[in-house]
Amino acid sequence: MKKPIIATASLAGCFGCHMSFLDIDERILDLVELVHWGKSPINDIKTFEQDCDIALIEGGCCNDEHIHTLRDFRKHCRILVAVGECAIMGGLPAMRNNIPIQECLEEAYLNSPSTAQANPEQILPNDAELPALLDKVYPCHEIVKMDYFLPGCPPRADLIYGALTALVTGQEAKLPYEVIKFD
Amino acid sequence: MSEHIAAISDIAAKYDNDPNRLLDILIDVQAQERCVTDDVTRQLAQQVGLSWADIHQTVSFYHFLSETPRGEYTIYLNNGPVAIMQGYEEVAAAFSEAAGCSIDSVTEDGRIGLFVTADIGMGDQEIAALINRVVFTCLTPEKARALVKDMQEGLSVQDMARKHREYGDGNNSLPAIHSMVRNNIQKAGPVCLGPYEVGVALRKCATQSPEDILSQIKASKLRGRGGAGFPTAMKWEFCAKAQGPERCVVANADEGEPGTFKDRVLLTERAELLFEGMAICAYAVGATTGSLYLRGEYTYLREYLEQVLEQMRADNLLGKDIAGKAGFDFDIRVQLGAGSYVCGEESALLESAEGKRGEPRNRPPFPAQSGYRAMPTVIDNVETLASAAQIIDKGADWFSNMGTEESTGTKVLSISGDCDRPGIYEVEFGITIGELLDMAGARDPQAVQVGGPSGHCLNADARDTMISFEGCSSAGAIIIIGKQHDLLAIIDNFMEFFTDESCGSCGPCRSGTWMLRNTLRRIRQGQGTREDLTSMRQLSEVMKKTTKCGLGHTAPHPILNTMDNFPHLYEALIPEQSDIRVFDLEASIKAANAAVGRTSASKETREKEEEQL
Ligand SMILES: Cc1cc2nc3c(=O)[nH]c(=O)nc-3n(C[C@H](O)[C@H](O)[C@H](O)COP(=O)(O)O)c2cc1C
Ligand code: SF4
Ligand code: SF4
């Protein structure tokens, strides 16, 4: 059987979910036996050379590039998995959703202790090359259909590994209580 | 400033600086100062011996209390379901335009504040609003403009009301009420609105033993009229048997369920019967303290109710040795609410009556074990207590011969919406929806909302459904929704209501109401998916299982009922299945681009444009 191809992306996340993925430690060698790696920050492949079977998405969408990337993933991948609170609910970044964008930008670039002195010209980043911020931070499932959700901030390595191998091998995931317990 | 301090101090002193009367204090402060500022909160904290946070959380909880001024004239226009069906939008726009301020704000000169509130119990005479607690009914855009003119000219609210519309029928025209509210009694039944002579029931009661009274209530098979239908005698027995030096009887006149207004009419026309029922309950359970929890929206009835209480005291029907029976001591005070639906829930009501924010308590202990100020307490709906008084007067058999096997007696229903004869109908349990629709002269109904948003949304197949505890129960509201309305817009209104009214204590209710509302909105905007329908069902299950009070249990009903009974409405809105959701990227980057001062379109749009070149 052809090995499934997996891809990953980090959108509005902190890379914590990817780090947690790497916490599968030596099991990454087993995984290499099971799958091919496609586009992912882990191998620094930046484009879809071919369509993928499973993609892990970390983070929600906070700018236009995220929307673009996520839609692209949806077009090129069979199964999308939302990994972690940010992808599922917006997570920490979504805390800005109740604050008008103008205030957010002023706080970040003009008024915060680290920028108040350092930005004498009072510039809000506006280069055309920069991604445009969205009015709110959106969870992935509001932008495209997501097939699975792995909760946690970040989800434990065992959860990510268990879910991924289940998807790859087509067997039911074995997820003991400890793996989906958060306190 | 020092005048203000003295004025606040006087208000608190009027209530003996008692923290249990905090709600009364805050209501009076709000009426006088038009807000409860942070300074006042600090002053009161010292004076009544509570923390700043205690008072702050109470002020922020109730709709009719505010930290910022709400204007010399405060308009609370209700956006209940019947109002939105009958032209709320136009009236709101007229008020807003004429006053020159948007909804939720105050005019620059501080004169007029325009706010929205949930259903105010006038579903039979919409569009209705409260202006400084005076009720205005049957508003139209022209009338709204005229009222604004009156306010600009500085007329008193009472004069405005008199100019606007004549006094209502029955007791509404008594000097103590002087209100334009109409009773609209379309059908008076034999129990709550039947023939009645003040004092007869209570005098009969006083000649018997408490056990006799309990056994008559039991034999009548009376069940609670406030929604849950709990056997009344059983509740009274629990309370009678509970340990405690004193006991309490509370009448629940919060009537917050949108579309319900039957207690309004009972309070107006049958106050004595209610108070007698409370005294009879007090006699049966051995209570000495009584309280009528009157929703803030019905403040216009307070003076009248106080007068009735005073008269009953004078007639020895309240107070000491009632009806000549040595040791039968019981009195009632009126506790006002300040705008909160969840305060109708019995344990939240107790919290509120104790001056706190109305957050439901953990149960057990149940109110019958430990209720108002830890006293074993019976809380019953107004109609339940009024029925109990008639049972003691006219007999358990008389009562249980009416209605059905499990639902004896009559039910007072408030019918509103698309019908020729909105108003109050006291009917025997077992009546069918079809009969009710005919009686009220329903006009081309598409749906009937029985029991308000927390109840049942029925479709045209439901004509044979019976109103009863074993069939379809209703705390009183029947809202007829005609075919011309967008039913899901009304369901949206219900979900907005629950989102606003959730006390926030349980996560699944606080967030769940919000998530259900937002998902429904997404579907209504044509951006829904089939998974949304499944996930709304799943979320509803979670809410039912994991929330503390009935609000969280029933808040999913509007959505579940319409998904079951009107599936085609959802089907029609869900677009062809696509994995890419509808999302307006350009609209969502507008604000940020404006903030940083650039105009470029999103990367995706730019790429598309380049491709086209
Ligand atoms: C959110 C919520 C609101 C309620 N509002 C009212 C109300 O306005 N009036 C009322 O009588 N019961 C209301 N109830 C029901 C009360 O908790 C309680 O069951 C009732 O007052 C008991 O009286 P009964 O046995 O006479 O029905 C409400 C319950 C919930 C959960
Ligand atoms: S879920 Fe937690 S770990 Fe994962 S990206 Fe978000 S913040 Fe980081
Ligand atoms: S269910 Fe809702 S309203 Fe009831 S206690 Fe919980 S949060 Fe408050």
Range of the domain at B12: 3-59
Burial of B573 (0-12, 13-18, 19+ CB in 10 A): middle
Nearest CA-CA distance, residue B508 and chain A, Å:
15
User: B551, B502 in Cβ contact below 8 A?
Assistant: yes
Q: Which atom of ligand 1 is nearest to the CA of B255?
A: 8
Tokens coding B27: 């209501």
Quick check: CB of B377 below 6 Å from ligand 1? no
pLDDT at B528 over 90: no
Paired strand residues for B105 = B114
Is B585 domain-assigned? no
d(CA B436, CA B414): 11
Is residue B384 domain-shared with residue B298, that is, in the same domain?
A: yes
Q: For an interface test with A, which of B523, B602, B610 has the most A Cβ atoms less than 10 Å from its Cβ?
A: B602
State residue A183's pLDDT score.
67
- Mean pLDDT within B473-494: 96
Contact B593 A102 (CB under 8 A): no
Q: Which residues on B lie below 8 Å from A57 (Cβ)?
A: none
Is B180 domain-assigned? no
Is residue B86 domain-shared with residue B135, that is, in the same domain?
A: yes
Out of A67, A105, A145, closest to residue B596 by CB = A105
pLDDT at A2 over 90: no
Q: What are the tens digits of pLDDT across the range B465-479?
A: 999 999 999 899 999
Distance A85 CA to ligand 2 centre (A): 6
State residue B344's pLDDT score.
97
Is B43 domain-assigned? yes
Q: Which residues on A lie below 8 Å from B596 (Cβ)?
A: 105, 124-126
Question: Tokens 């009304």, residue?
Answer: B490
d(CA B213, CA B206): 9
For A73, the closest chain B residue by CA position comes to B580
Is B607 domain-assigned? no
pLDDT at B177 over 80: yes
Give the CATH number, domain containing residue B137: 3.40.30.10
State residue B440's pLDDT score.
98
* Count of domains forming chain B: 5
Is residue B436 domain-shared with residue B520, that is, in the same domain?
A: no
Q: Which of B362-366, B577-581, B609-613 has the highest mean pLDDT?
A: B362-366
pLDDT at A1 over 70: no
ipTM: 0.89
Give the CATH number, domain containing residue B462: 3.10.20.600
d(CA B263, CA B253): 7
Sheet holding B73-78, edge to edge: B105-106, B112-117, B73-78, B129-131, B134-136
State residue B1's pLDDT score.
59
Average model confidence (pLDDT) across chain A: 93
Q: What are the tens digits of pLDDT across the range B245-276?
A: 899 999 999 999 999 999 999 999 999 999 99
Sheet holding A52-58, edge to edge: A36-37, A5-10, A52-58, A77-83, A148-150
Average model confidence (pLDDT) across chain B: 96
Sheet holding B423-428, edge to edge: B185-187, B423-428, B410-417, B477-482, B445-450, B456-458
Q: Is residue B55 very low, low, confident or very high in pLDDT (cuts 50, 70, 90)?
A: very high
pLDDT at B613 over 80: no
Is residue B548 domain-shared with residue B445, that is, in the same domain?
A: no
Q: How far is residue A27 CA from its own chain's centroid?
A: 21
With residues binned 3-state (H G I as helix, E B as strand, rest as coil), the percentages for chain B, rounded to 5, are: 50, 15, 35
Q: What is the DSSP letter of B548?
A: S
Instruction: Please name which of B553, B473, B547 lies closest in space to residue B227, comparing C-alpha atoms.
Output: B473
Strand, coil or helix: B205: helix
- More confident position, A111 or B612: A111
Q: Which residues on A lie below 8 Å from B580 (Cβ)?
A: 71, 74-75, 143-145
Out of B587, B598, B602, closest to residue A126 by CB = B598
State residue A67's pLDDT score.
96
Out of B531, B579, B595, closest to residue A101 by CB = B595
d(CA B237, CA B239): 5
Is B311 domain-assigned? yes
Give the CATH number, domain containing residue B547: 1.20.1440.230
User: B86, B126 in Cβ contact below 8 A?
Assistant: yes
The domains found in chain A, sorted by start residue, are: 5-96+134-179 (3.40.50.700)
Distance A24 CA to ligand 2 centre (A): 17
Give the CATH number, domain containing residue B395: 3.40.50.11540
Q: What is the DSSP letter of B472?
A: B
d(CA A168, CA B219): 67
Is B117 domain-assigned? yes
Q: pTM (2 decimals)?
A: 0.89
State residue B41's pLDDT score.
96
Q: Which atom of ligand 2 is nearest to the CA of A85?
A: 1
Is B102 domain-assigned? yes
